[in-house]
Structure 1
């Protein structure tokens, strides 16, 4: 009986522990960053507030290195679809211009996402 109680206790702890949030999916990343397009292709001088909200949401969800790699690959793919009109300096500067203390590398079609590392999200 004591053994059964021990097994049940472990099972309950495993079931009730908080689950780790998964990295956002590529469609989510693309949707959240869609409002950034006019800024990163030099059509506007400032990113839209929805763009900054999307950047903050995506970076807040990308906790582990694997999450960051996944987000990087999504961004890389989305940028490739936009063609040559993307200003990669504006892409990497988005977190800073949106008031975040995050260093985002210059992601472009040749960037190796497995080498990505950026600081934890902290608001300026």
Structure 2
């Protein structure tokens, strides 16, 4: 709820930065891959979803099957994240009002989602 309040009270201003980027695009991509790879939800996916699709008696070793599923998952995530990023950048640059609407909606959603445990605790 605190994050949502912060987003609503100090929305980001879309525009070109006066400062040059400190890192190259490759370095930014590597940082994003590292952050995504360290996400605990990714580990949950590997430990809960992939094992049911791995056949220990199959023709491929378990490590190869796990690697293939991991590579397919990473390729799918990369395609989705790149598409969303490019489309979001295009829409938000051409329509500043859309950027403000996205900021307001995301801030409000953070407050609503943050309030669910509170409502649950009061109701239960």
- Tell me the TM-score range normalised by the shorter chain: under 0.3
Structure number with the bigger relative contact order (C-alpha 8 A, sep ≥ 6) is: 2
Higher share in helix: 2
Higher Rg of the two aligned structures: 2
- The two structures have a TM-score, normalised by structure 2, of 0.26
